[in-house]
């Protein structure tokens, strides 16, 4: 890859880039929020979350001070909730150090929770135009094809190798355009089903030259995710619904859920279960099944609605409006709710 190839890539970017909200700002705080949301989440999904988040939490100060339940509600549906918690932790650390902004300093950014090498590179290059490479999955896919990278792309030494290569190529370029052009090429052209004929890098792409584009990137074969069979009971009492706060640690920590059992119940078993628990009910309805895939496990859930004769003691019952507006209900339980 030579200077002239980078010129072609930048030209292509100027002509083909998507109009995305975080491309109208140089505010490092906004770039940080967008890049954090974009990790593991698609652009189309992120856009409305990004805009809503910044309305409610427009600054580092606001982020440090926002109530956790409001923060999690703003994140509801994006998944990987530790990202939101880390944002707040980092904002608090900055405030404690008397900072209302993200410092344009690699070492300081690196020390903040949730900010890894990619995010450091993205903030420095996109917001501050400092030549620090930002290598995410999109960029790695492009590079692995251009260089026919034989190593597994997730190995640290691969990232280090390409960080050095990009750092050299970035010299004398505008860092924000450089970073975003690689990201954009990976998102629009050098995809799973690549559009090589449209690619500005095809003349320097080794994989294109050797007709091996689909062999790259080299990835480790993923282990199958464990499948967990569960049951969700949506208890209803006079148009209010039982929800519970999940434990403080582990998957979906501190978020809300319906009554959830770590084993599957068939229609007949539900009745027996309720009787054993001394829960007095009117009617049970089988609502079907929800399948949800998390990063490390897959849940297959049988969902039932149960209308109650009386409230279950010490449990929280909320209206539909409150459930949807006030409590953060992760996507897996939203899916169950939609069956109702």
Please give the positions annotated as active site.
Answer: 35
- Told to check if 38 binds ligand ADE by CB under 6 A, we report yes
For residues 248 and 246, give the distance between their C-alpha atoms in angstroms, rounded to a whole number.
Answer: 7
CA 14/CA 17 separation, integer angstroms: 6
Indicate the residue whose CB is closest to ligand ADE: 38
CB of 175 to ligand ADE, least distance (A): 13
Near ligand ADE in 61-120, by CB under 6 A: none
Q: Candidates 72-80, 106-114, 151-159, 179-187: pick the segment binding ligand ADE (CB under 6 A).
A: 179-187
Binding of ligand ADE at residue 236 (CB under 6 A)? no
**Does 173 participate in binding ligand ADE (rule CB under 6 A)?**
no
Decide: 237 and 308 in contact? Cβ < 8 Å.
yes
257 touches ligand ADE by CB under 6 A: no
- Listing DSSP states for 299-329 in one string gives EEEEEEEEEESSPPTT-EEEEHHHHHHTS--
- Copy the structure tokens of residue 91: 């904002």
Tokens of 61: 């100060």
* Degrees to nearest 5, angle at CA 136 with 195 and 88: 135
Give 20 or 228: the residue with its C-beta nearer to ligand ADE: 20
Give the closest residue to 252 by CA, choosing from 79, 67, 83.
79
Q: How far is CA 230 from CA 227, 278, 291, 299, 315, in A?
A: 10, 21, 10, 7, 20
Between CA 67 and CA 117 the distance in angstroms is 28
User: Is the dihedral angle over the CA atoms 302, 307, 310, 316 positive or is it negative?
Assistant: positive
- According to CB under 6 A, which residues from 125 to 154 bind ligand ADE? 136
* # of chain residues touching ligand ADE (CB under 6 A): 9
State how far the alpha carbon of 247 is from the alpha carbons of 26, 75, 213, 329, in Å: 38, 18, 46, 14
Cβ of residue 138: shortest distance to ligand ADE, in angstroms?
6
Shortest gap between Cβ of 31 and ligand ADE (angstroms)?
8
187 part of the interface to ligand ADE, by CB under 6 A: yes
Tell me whether residue 38 or residue 213 sits nearer to ligand ADE (CB atom): 38
Site for ligand ADE (CB under 6 A): which residue of 10, 43, 130, 251?
A: 43
Q: Compare residues 40 and 212 and give the one whose CB is closer to ligand ADE.
A: 40
Instruction: Extract the tokens encoding 173.
Output: 């370029």
Q: What is the DSSP letter of 303?
A: E
Question: How many Å apart are CA 328 and CA 277, to the nearest integer?
Answer: 27
To ligand ADE, the closest distance from the beta carbon of 90 in angstroms equals: 18
Among 10, 20, 284, 324, interactor with ligand ADE by CB under 6 A:
20
Nearer to ligand ADE, 72 or 139 (CB): 139
CB of 87 to ligand ADE, least distance (A): 16
Among 183, 234, 290, 306, which residue interacts with ligand ADE (rule: CB under 6 A)?
Answer: 183
Residues forming contacts to ligand ADE in the complex (CB under 6 A) are 20, 22, 35, 38, 43, 136, 180, 183, 187
């Amino acid at each position: 890859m030579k200077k002239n190839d980078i010129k072609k890539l930048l030209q292509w970017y100027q002509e083909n880039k998507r109009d995305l909200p975080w491309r109208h700002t140089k505010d490092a705080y906004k770039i940080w929020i967008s890049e954090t949301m974009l990790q593991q989440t698609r652009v189309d999904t992120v856009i409305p979350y990004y805009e809503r988040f910044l309305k409610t939490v427009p600054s580092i100060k606001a982020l440090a001070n926002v109530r956790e339940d409001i923060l999690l509600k703003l994140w509801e549906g994006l998944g990987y909730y530790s990202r939101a918690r880390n944002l707040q932790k980092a904002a608090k650390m900055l405030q404690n150090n008397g900072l209302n902004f993200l410092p344009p300093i690699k070492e300081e950014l690196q020390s903040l929770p949730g900010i890894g090498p990619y995010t450091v590179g993205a903030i420095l290059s996109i917001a501050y135009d400092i030549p620090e490479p930002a290598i995410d999955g999109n960029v790695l896919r492009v590079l692995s094809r251009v260089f026919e990278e034989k190593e597994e792309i997730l190995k640290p030494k691969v990232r280090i190798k390409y960080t050095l290569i990009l750092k050299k190529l970035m010299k004398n370029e505008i860092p924000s355009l450089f970073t975003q052009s690689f990201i954009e090429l990976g998102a629009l052209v050098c995809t799973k089903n690549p559009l090589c004929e449209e690619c500005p890098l095809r003349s320097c792409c080794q994989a294109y030259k050797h007709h091996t584009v689909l062999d790259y990137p080299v990835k480790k074969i993923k282990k199958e995710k464990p499948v967990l069979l569960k049951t969700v009971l949506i208890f209803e009492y006079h148009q209010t619904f039982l929800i519970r706060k999940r434990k403080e640690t582990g998957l979906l920590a501190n978020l809300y859920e319906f009554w959830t059992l770590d084993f599957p119940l068939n229609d007949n078993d539900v009745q027996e279960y309720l009787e054993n628990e001394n829960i007095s009910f009117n009617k049970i309805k089988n609502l079907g099944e929800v399948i949800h895939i998390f990063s490390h496990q897959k849940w297959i859930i049988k969902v039932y609605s149960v209308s109650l004769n009386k409230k279950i003691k010490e449990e929280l019952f909320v209206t539909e409006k409150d459930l949807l507006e006030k409590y953060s209900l992760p996507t897996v339980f939203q899916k169950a709710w939609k069956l109702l």
